[in-house]
Amino acid sequence: MQQLFQTHHCRRLAAALTVALLATGCATLDGDPYYDGGYAGPAYYPANPPIAVYDQPAVIYTAPPPGWRAEAWREHQIREARERDRRRDWERREAERQRAQDRQRDAERRELERRREAERRDWERRREAERRNVPNDRQRELWQREQRLLNHPDPDVVRARREQFERDRQAERESQRGTPPWPR
């Protein structure tokens, strides 16, 4: 009885494991290769053609269709070949014209960007020069003002103004050093 019990349990366990493996996808059965990705189908066009492709010849003479004279058919084919050649030439010229326009537009865009960058650099240079020249301009203006005010007929007024200018200069030098302009 015990031996029967163990065999029965082993079979049940094996069946349960098989169902679990199939349900989780760990074990698969062979299916349709079309859905599994194994069927690639016929390859009609190879990835890299082994031959070089050239333009078709200008005129190919064929037999005239019923109702056409041979000479008229040949002239018709020659006219069509000329039209094809003219159309190809026109398309080539148009493509070249378009490429030339694109090159011109790109060159103009690069030139515009170059000019804008040069203008920006010039503006930065001028701004920096003006920033550096502000103290010089201020000093020049103060000196010119002093010279104008010192042209006074009364010597006492000139002496008082010189003393005031000297005090103003001293106060400015001390303010640049960070010390208070008043006496301690």
Specify if 128 maps to a domain: yes
Residue 66 in tokens: 């019923």
Distance CA 176, CA 174 (A): 5
Q: Is the dihedral of CA 101, 103, 105, 107 positive or negative?
A: negative
Distance CA 10, CA 15 (A): 9
State how many domains the chain has: 1
65 touches 73 (CB < 8 A): yes
| pLDDT at residue 39 in the model | 54
Domain that holds residue 73: 56-134
Specify if 106 maps to a domain: yes
Specify if 147 maps to a domain: no
pLDDT of 127 > 60? The answer is yes
Distance CA 31, CA 89 (A): 56
Identify the three-state secondary structure at position 141. helix
Specify if 69 maps to a domain: yes
| pLDDT at residue 182 in the model | 53
Specify if 68 maps to a domain: yes
Specify if 168 maps to a domain: no
Distance CA 122, CA 66 (A): 80
Mean pLDDT of 101-110: 95
Mean pLDDT of 87-116: 94
Specify if 95 maps to a domain: yes
Specify if 8 maps to a domain: no
Residue 55 in tokens: 């333009």
What are the φ and ψ backbone dihedral angles of 172, each rounded to 5 degrees? -70, -40
| pLDDT at residue 33 in the model | 58
**Residues near 171 by Cβ (< 8 Å), separated by ≥ 6?**
181
